[in-house]
Amino acid sequence: MAEPSDVRPENPAGVPAPAPSPELPPDLEGILQNMQDIGTLVDQQYGPLKFTVDVGEGSFHVGLAPQFGKLEFRSLKMMDMALQVAIIATLRTLARYDLRAISWDEALSTMLQNPALEPAKHGVFRRKVLVRPPKRRLRSHSPLHPQVLAEIETWFADLVQDEGVLMDTKINTEVLSRILVETDVTIDSLKALLRKSERKSRVFFDIGVLRFPNKKEPYIKLYRIQLTAWIERKQYLGLVWKEDGALDGTYSAYDFYPCKDVLDVVQPQVQEQAAAEVEQLFETPYHHVKASKTPL
């Protein structure tokens, strides 16, 4: 029997020949090599050599960045086939977007509509507010009061409630201290815009993250952290009698598992192709996934 060909043979009888398997989108291979992981991006924005109080006038926004966490190349090759197919299906659906600029709603909608994925029954949404410490001017070169720093660490940990996310994003004590600086500067800039009794806010930190599965966490995680600084002034008879400022944080997260009902009927050759594509995408020279020295 002749080997199947990717080229459609001429068919004088007019019977349509089967369509070839869809090719890998041209930009799929570049979707990872052109992106930096979220920990690197956070460090570039809030690292000690990059951060200045001037960023309080702007914002740090990342539509969607990858995070590979504990994923290793050897464990990737041993991963469940359904999970490998789910990874490729996810990247294919996201490849048509500019991931640095994609909105959270677009990213979430794309994941929810992916037939290869099955979302967990319940997502996570939390909101926590940290009131601005009174009469305190914060600057990046000034030491923070231990009580203030402990307060924001507790607040942020309570907002996220996921040790893996805290490690992935590299939002540590130093980064949080600089976020406090930025909060203070942002509130001050908003204060100058207030007119009588009103409230103004500004989102200055907004990141979306796609965390890839690993041996201990065999699912794809999509999450978002958004920080907003706001100030509210209340006046009575022309006199300011109350003025509040705060840091408002929201955390959203969804876990996605391979949809067994769909992936169980995927043809073996498609599964093999997906496994080959996963290996190609994550191997060197892209260096996104670290090599494991643990023997197989």
pLDDT > 70: percent of the chain: 67
pTM recorded for the entire structure: 0.77
Q: How many domains does the chain have?
A: 1
Query: 123 near 252, Cβ under 8 Å?
Result: yes
- What is the amino acid identity at position 152? I
Residue 56 lies in a domain: yes
Mean pLDDT is lowest, of 2-11, 57-66, 146-155, for 2-11
Structural domain includes residue 15: no
Residue 295 within any structural domain of the chain: no
Domain-embedded: residue 17: no
pLDDT of residue 50: 56
Domain assignment present for residue 227? The answer is yes
Domain for residue 12, yes or no?
no
- Residue 229 lies inside a defined structural domain of this protein: yes
For 76-103, write each residue's pLDDT tens digit: 667 788 888 888 888 888 888 888 889 9
Task: Reply yes or no on whether the pLDDT at 43 is more than 70.
Answer: yes
Compare 108 and 264 and report the one with higher pLDDT. Answer: 108
8 A C-beta contact, residue 150 and residue 285: no
Average pLDDT estimate for 201-207: 88
> Residue 296's CB: how many other CB atoms inside 10 A?
7
pLDDT for residue 284 is more than 50: no
pLDDT at 142 over 90: no
Question: Which domain, by its residues, includes 146?
Answer: 30-282
Average pLDDT over all residues of the chain: 74
Give a yes or no: residue 234 inside a domain. yes
**What confidence score (pLDDT) does residue 124 get?**
95
CB neighbours of residue 137 within 10 Å: 10
